[in-house]
Each structure stands twice: as structure tokens, then as C-alpha cells.
Amino acid sequence: MKKDLPVCPVEVTLMLISDKWKVLILRDLMGGTKRFGELKKSIGNITQKVLTANLRSMEESGLLTRTVYAEVPPRVEYTLTEVGYSLKIVTDAMIKWGTEYKEKLEK
């Protein structure tokens, strides 16, 4: 993945995970390898086309790997790469902030 990256590190991060679906895909894959159907079910209101496009983009960026098994029916699994797992600190911070924000609103 050799691209012209922005100078700003925040912009680089946003370039990779700015789509809400990508963050939810990251969240779900932090727990381990998942199949396409499992991701679609756990993410919820996402179309197959949008999920496929986001998974391909994340694979292109080096955030996840796609493994196809030669079976009938074909089995495809997605796993975060080391780079993808390195975003755990970002997703953990989002979980912490979101939890605290919800608690403040409930008071």
C-alpha cells in the first residue's frame, strides 16, 4: 500500500477509518476472524454491496486479510492484520468516550 499520504497524522487515520462501517468492522474483527455473514449480521443495517466495498477497501489498505477456502459453498473469512489490530487503542478510546458520554447524558 504505497499512497500519497496526508501530512497530518489525524488525516491519515481518518482516511483509513472515517467511514462508520469501517469502524464497526474493526470493532467486530477485534474479537477474531469472522465470516462475511457473521459480519453482516453483527453490524446490522448494512447492505451486502456496502459491506463488500468496505472490506475490499480495508484489505487494500492493509487493515485486514481475506481468506477464501475452496469449498462448496465457498467460505470466506476476514481477519485483522497486525496493522488492523494496532487500531485497538483507537477503538478502545472510542468505546471509553462513548460510554462516558452516554452516562453524562443519562444523569
pTM tops 0.85, yes or no: yes
Three cell numbers, residue 97: 468516550
d(CA 29, CA 22): 10
On whether residue 71 sits in a domain, the answer given is: yes
Q: Does any domain span residue 74?
A: yes
pLDDT band at 40 (very low <50, low <70, confident <90, very high): very high
Render pLDDT for 58-72 as a digit per residue (tens, 0 to 9): 999 999 999 999 999
Work out how many domains the chain is built from and give that number.
Answer: 1
CATH code of residue 44: 1.10.10.10
Domain carrying residue 61: 9-106
Q: For the purposes of burial, counting CB atoms within 10 Å of the CB of 58, is it exposed (0-12), middle (13-18) or buried (19 or more)?
A: buried
8-state DSSP, 31: T
Residue with cell 453483527: 42
Q: How far is Cα 66 from Cα 78, in angstroms, rounded to an integer?
A: 5
Please check whether residue 4 lies inside any domain of the structure: no
The better pLDDT of the pair 80, 74 is held by 80
> Residue 92 — very low, low, confident or very high, per pLDDT cuts 50/70/90?
very high
